[in-house]
Structure formats: structure tokens, C-alpha cells
Amino acid sequence: MKRTSRDIRTANRYEVLRQIIAESPTSRQELAAATGLSLATVATLVGELLDLGLLTEVGFEDSAGGRPRGLVAVNASGGALIGVDIAETYVRVELFDLALNVLARADEDMRPGESRPAQVVGHVATAVDSVVAQAGVECARVLGVGVSVPGQVDRATGIAEYAPNWDWHDVPLLGLLSEQISHPLYLDNPLRACAVAELWFGAARGRGDAVVVNLGTGVGAGLALGGGLHRGVSNSAGEWGHTTLVLDGRLCHCGNHGCVETYVGAPGIMLNLRELSPRSPLLHPEDQTATIDALARGVAAQDPVAVKVVRDTARYLGAGIADLVNLLNPEVVVLSSWVAAALGEPLLEEVREAVARHALQRPLAATEIVLSPIPTDPVCLGAATFALEGALSSITQKANQRSNRRTWSKQ
Amino acid sequence: MKRTSRDIRTANRYEVLRQIIAESPTSRQELAAATGLSLATVATLVGELLDLGLLTEVGFEDSAGGRPRGLVAVNASGGALIGVDIAETYVRVELFDLALNVLARADEDMRPGESRPAQVVGHVATAVDSVVAQAGVECARVLGVGVSVPGQVDRATGIAEYAPNWDWHDVPLLGLLSEQISHPLYLDNPLRACAVAELWFGAARGRGDAVVVNLGTGVGAGLALGGGLHRGVSNSAGEWGHTTLVLDGRLCHCGNHGCVETYVGAPGIMLNLRELSPRSPLLHPEDQTATIDALARGVAAQDPVAVKVVRDTARYLGAGIADLVNLLNPEVVVLSSWVAAALGEPLLEEVREAVARHALQRPLAATEIVLSPIPTDPVCLGAATFALEGALSSITQKANQRSNRRTWSKQ
Ligand SMILES: [Zn+2]
Ligand SMILES: [Zn+2]
């Protein structure tokens, strides 16, 4: 798990590509200034990315008095990436160009009970076919499909080890998907997808240590430490939703009591509402999305019950986020995923106040708390980013093998 | 905060020196095998450490059929390091040789109320003079003094920003110490001292991600992630003692309620005992150490009150450690500091059971929970290690400046 010079090279390659995606066209000189890398390192990495067809040369700009500088940009049409967000109540699939613009989207609803692996795989395959057809890209140009599934996943084997909301245990998800999808597949979970989306394209970009709090049906905290994703020894770091906030509190489906998720996940927020006002018209008992949307509208209309529920939720959330601030001392905490997007600024303000009541002065002073600035589904974007990272690493592995062979043949 | 190739070089230098300290004499070949670094890298780093006088050549060993291999060892007498553990109730100072053997020790008791900065500084200066005199080392050979003080510290400015047990705010501790101590001084806190001691000499050595749980009067969790100390953006990561375990629970001196520390720090354990058995003979109301020692003896004698208090404490501790396991997915969790040392195996067993009840299956399966194997005061050892790291970095900075000048003069 120690970082090696190869890890650093990979991180630098990501950093340069991130910067070019954020700002194209650009010159090697601008890239060196923006990333803090040497011009020689940037030139090498840009050369590799040009060779791989991920970048393209787009002309020259004058530099005052010097030689004209070559400009590069993302070769947006050089390939396509697909991100799959398997959530508790829906499957969403998006197809991206290499600049990570959304070219096509497909949604499949999943009714309660419709959660057997074969059913979920069917929805994913249908939606993947749909986005490829909609975008009219050739199959060979799809560099990979990133798949996010809730719960604990083993990336190496492609197994969904434990999805608590569906009671899945050791489902060989990638194997099942590969029977119907021929593109390279990469499995991970939503908390890490949201974190990598922020790291590449959102509020964690260029920050040292960031925590991406993922608020959906499930709850987690993706950890971007030292500029990279902290995965832990068995790729299950970030299960903040199952840390104890109230000892002996609400029973959680994980078996523990008082988990953060039971107070601030969508079902937990519904319970906060039900405990306050059992017959509230805001409550849609079988529909998380409708309830959260009703709460958001209620807060906008200054409905006292909605205001109180968001305040109570923010109080739990603030105590939990203060724990992350005290433990990890991050530069930024990002509130991400659909519940955070729906409740927005009013939630953020209450959370900031609650964190300030709980956290220690010194780490609090160093931490900013923000809403995710990513305008699309961050889980799809993050899943597509895993596919981009996977494609980059498999391409560069091949390049290394070629250059090793060349070295060998010279001896 | 991103890791650069310079950070990697520093980490590799530490890794090689750690390995040599653990096993001397050794050859460059053995070091390469043990660290996973290339022989060329090891040879360069060993050369630097020899130049600095930290290592010494100690002969040759035969290698089957090949050239005899040069052996190197720590130059134990090449310098001295001092570690200072300023605790709530005492100041302990130890002087080490470069193999980190303790050559001299001095303890100063601090009575309740005797906690003004000038009083504490006086105790430290007296004890430092004492260990230098006892060991008979020349002042010039002391490479540095590492100082650990509880609470939040700013390493760069040497200010103790907040020591909750003493109500210290913004005390310029390093400035005050430097008026009486002429050696280079390095300030940090006990949770990071314990973590760096485990990373160099204990259960975290050679592990990817480790959490060092520091159980004393105060409580913290030093985070050794990716083979290095995770400090956070303002050097205050690790304040696990002030994360919420019981929402609206016991009032903590930090202002928050229900902090982990209020249940498992020494005063919290005393409160656990008092709540169970207000007039227990195990309770020494003004003496934390005596109470914890009485509990340890009580458990050994199967006193039911002592057994119950340790079980209750382990229940709190286990829930809190399960949070660390779920959030960080570490390879090892180390129980360190004087309370853990005093309560030992019986505490460890109860903690393991409690963690297993709270943590998720996947991260739990990947995590080992152990007592610190460090036989001496881990805070002094860690503080001395900060002095060693500081000395290494100041020496190598000078070496870099020299080599820069050489490069410059050639142009
Ligand atoms: Zn849970
Ligand atoms: Zn506290």
C-alpha cells in the first residue's frame, strides 16, 4: 500500500489530464505552471497522452518575444466512456466523450422488490445498449464502462460482497455483466465514485485532503487524501454511514445501532419527519425521492415542519461531519449526491452551524464545507472516471511492455 | 499537501534507516530485499547516511560465490536524541543513542494546579539537563530535542494552541523552551508521537495503513496512511478523542457532548467506575494512575467490579474503534500509551469482541488489533523520532544546498 515512484507518475499523469480537461486548449508551459510539475515532466506526459489519442495538437499561440507555443486539447471524439449508477431505486447510465461531456443518458426505474442480480443486470445492459445507440458511437470506441453499486465491492474480483439495502451477498456482478456487455468493465461503489468525480472535476480538484460526503439512500464519505483516493487495505474505506453517532440508537440494517446513515440517509430523514409529524402531507411513505423533494419545497415555502426536519437532520449531519473534521483535518468537505442536491443551500447553512458547534477550533478554521459543484449525476461521472483511469492504466501498461521489449531487444 | 518525488525520497530515506535500526549490521542487498527499493536507490541512500555519520561500515560478509558484501550498521554513538513527554501529571525525558536505545531518563512530577507554562518549561529544562549529565554526552552531539505536549500544536511556529486539560491557549512553548535549552527543538503532540513511534519501531512498521489509538488522560488516533503520518491540512488530524460516540452524552472539556474521550480517557474510565460503584476501594479520586493500576490488579484477581468497568470501557472503545475500521479500513489498529499498557491483554480481548459486534464484515476481516509492542514510553520514543526526522531533513537540506552550489559553480 505504500506509494512508489510509479504511483507518483500515475498521479502526475492524472493531474495533467485533469488540468487539460478543465481548460482546453492549453500549452505545456501553462500546464507546468498549473500543476507545479517541471516543463520536462509535463512534456513527457503530454507526449504519452498524444500518442494514446487522448489529446490532440490544436495549433500555436504567440509567446511574447519567444517561439510560438504548441497548444493541446482533449481529443473529445477520441473515444467514449460509460458511467453506470446502480442505485436502490433506479439504474442511470450516461455516455461521455473524452472531455467528459454527457452525450447520452438512459434511466431505468426499479420497483421495490425488483432487486435480484439478474434483474439489475438486465436493466444495466438495456441502458448501456440504449446510450451507445443514442450517441451513435461504434462499439470499438467505447474505452470502458465504470459501474457503481452500493455497498462493499471487491474491485479485483468484480464481486459485490454486500449490498445491505438488497441483502446481496457475494454477487459476481462483473461476471454477470460481462455476459451481456462486451466493453471493459470496472466495478466500484457510489461513495468512491462521488469522491473521484470531485477529485477530477469538482470541489476536491487541486486540494490536498478532501472528504466527499455522499448523501443518498445510503451514506458514505469518500476520502481524497494527499491528492488521491484513500481506499484502505481492502478497498472498503469510507463507510462513514456505518459509524456510530448515537450509541444504542436506531437499529441499522448493518446490524449496528445508531449509525450515521440511520439519521441522515433518505430513509433516516423520512423517519426524522415521521417522528416529528406522523401524518405530515410531506411524507410519501414508499417514495424517498418524492419525500425529499417535498421537504425541499416545504423549506422554500417556510413550512415549519419541513424547516424543523432539515434542521434536525443537519444537527445529526453536523455532529457526524465534525467527527470527520476532527479526525482527518481536511481542507474541504463536499456534500454530494441526490439528497444534498435536493436540499441544497438551506441544508448547507444548517450543517455549517452544527459543525461549528461540535468541531475543535483549529481543524474547523482550516475546513471549508461546500455543496458539490458538479451539475450532473456525480456517481455516473465518477464511474466513467474509473473507466478512464482503467483505460489509461491498461494502455500505459501495454506501452511499458512495448518499451520493455524494446529495451530488451537492444541488449 | 500533495506528495511529490521529494516526499518519496524522504520516505525512502526513512524506510532504509528504519530497516537498518531494526536489523544491524546488514548489507545493501538485504536492505533492497526488505524495502522493495532498487539496489541502486538503496546504495545512494546508504551513501548519504554514511556521509552524515548516522551509519558506519562494519566489515564484509561472504556471498555465495560472489564478491563479499559490505555491511553497514547504525553509528549508535554518532549522536544523541532527546524525547520529552509532557503529560497532564508528569514530565518524562529520555535520551537515546542513534539506535534509539535509552541511555538516560528523568521524571518530574507535576502536582494538580502546577500547570502554568513557566512551571512546565522549568520541569522540562531541569529534566533535559539531567539526562545530558547522566549520559555524559557533549552538548554538541545532541542532534535535537523532540517535545510532545497534549492538545493542538502548530509545529511551524512552535505554539501550543490549545491544551484542554490545562486551559492553555496560544502558549509560545518552543520560544519559552529555547530560552533554556540550546539544542534544536521540535514540537508535536502525543497522538502523533505514538503514531510515529509505531511507524518506525512498532506494530505499524512496514504496514500500509495503520491507526495508533492513544489511550492516556487524553485520547487520540494517530493515522499512519500510505506509510507516512497523515497530519491534515493544519497538522491537527487524529482528534478521534473528540469525535461523538454518544450524541448529547457526557460533557467534554472541548465543549462538545459525548466525545469518545469522556468514556475511555483515564478520567472517563474513573467516571465509569464511579457510576458503577461510587464507593469502590479501587477508586483513588485524585490519582488517575493509581486508579487504573488498581483496576488492572482487580481484573487479574477477578474482582467483579474491575471486570465490569474494563468491559464497559471496552464496549465504548470497541464502538469507537469500529468507526475507525469502517471509515479508514486499516491493516492494523494499535492500542498505545499508559492506559493501554496498564490494562493490557484483558482490555485487548474485550475490545476485539466489541469491535467485532460493531464493524462491517469486510473491513473487520482485514484489520488486526494489537497492543503496542514498544517496551518503553512510546511518547518519548516518538518525540525523539521527530528530532531524528528533523535532524535528517535539516542535514539533507544543507547537503542539497551544497550540491546546488556545486552544480551552480560548474555552469
Ligand atoms: Zn450501519
Ligand atoms: Zn471533546
Q: Mutating which of B328, B361, B368 best tests the A interface, going by the most A Cβ atoms within 10 A?
A: B328
Q: How far, in Å, CA of B234 to CA of B211, rounded? A: 19
Please name the helix (run of DSSP H) or strand (run of DSSP E) that holds residue B213, with its range, or none: strand B210-215
Residues of chain A with C-beta less than 8 angstroms from the C-beta of B159:
none
The predicted pLDDT at position A409 comes to 42
CA atoms of A199 and B65, how far apart (whole Å) = 53
A8 to B8: CB separation less than 8 angstroms, yes or no: yes
Mean pLDDT of B162-183: 91
Class of domain B5-74: mainly alpha
CA gap B268, B262 in Å, rounded: 5
Select the residue of B162, B226, B331 nearest A361 (Cβ to Cβ). Answer: B162
Mean pLDDT by 10-residue block, N- to C-terminus, for chain A (411 residues)?
63 86 90 88 92 89 79 92 92 95 94 86 96 92 95 91 85 95 95 94 90 95 91 94 96 94 97 96 93 98 98 97 98 96 97 97 96 94 95 70 50 37
CATH code, residues B204-371: 3.30.420.40
**ipTM of this predicted complex?**
0.90
pLDDT, residue A193, reads 96
Say yes or no for a CB contact (<8 Å) between A360 and B221.
no
Nearest to A142 by CA among A84, A201, A62, A59: A84
Q: Where are the alpha helices (H) located in A36-108, listed in sequence order?
A: 39-51
Neighboring chain A residues of B209 at a CB cutoff of 8 Å: 1, 230, 232-233
**C-alpha B236: how far from its chain's center?**
15
Grid cell for residue A93: 447510465
Q: Where in chain A is CATH 3.30.420.40?
A: 78-193+377-397, 204-371
CA distance linking residue A221 with residue A212, whole number of Å: 5
Find the helix or strand (DSSP H, E) in which A26 lies. Answer: strand A26-27
- A145, three cell numbers: 464502462
* pLDDT tens by residue, A263-300: 999 999 999 999 999 999 999 998 999 999 999 999 99
Q: Return residue ranges of chain B for CATH 1.10.10.10.
A: 5-74
Q: Do B247 and A245 touch (CB under 8 A)?
A: yes
> Does a cis peptide bond (omega within 30 degrees of 0) precede residue B25?
yes
Interval between CA A318 and ligand 1 midpoint (Å) = 18
**Is the distance from CB of A95 to CB of A80 less than 8 angstroms?**
yes
In this structure, the number of other CB atoms found within 10 A of the CB of residue A70 comes to 16
How many angstroms is it from A292 CA to the middle of ligand 1?
21
- Rounded Cα distance, B384 and B395, in Å: 16
Cβ distance A161 to B226 less than 8 Å, yes or no, reads no
Measured between CB atoms, which of A2, A320, A358 is closest to B227? A2
Greatest Cα-to-Cα distance within chain A, rounded to the nearest angstrom: 80
Amino acid, res. A87: A
B10-37: average pLDDT: 87
Q: Where does residue A409 rank: exposed (0-12), middle (13-18), buried (19+ CB within 10 A)? A: exposed
* CA-based nearest residue to B82, from B130, B119, B21, B18: B130
Residue A285 CA, ligand 1 centroid: distance in Å = 21
* Cross-chain residue pair A247–B319, CB shorter than 8 Å: yes
Chain B hits for A243, Cβ within 8 Å: 322-323, 326-327
Name the residue in chain B with its Cα closest to that of A224.
Answer: B2
Which fold would CATH assign to domain A78-193+377-397? Nucleotidyltransferase; domain 5 (3.30.420)
B chain contacts of residue A358, beta-carbon cutoff 8 Å: 244, 256
Which pLDDT score is estimated for B402? Answer: 57
Q: Name the more confident of A308 and B166.
A: A308
CA distance linking residue A277 with residue B360, whole number of Å? 33
> What does each C-alpha distance from A47 to A16, A28, A61, A70, A142 come to in angstroms?
11, 10, 18, 12, 22
Mutate which of B171, B233, B259, B321 to test chain A, going by most A C-beta atoms within 10 A? B233
Q: What single-letter amino acid sits at A389? A: E
User: How many contacts does A have with B, using Cβ atoms within 8 A?
Assistant: 195
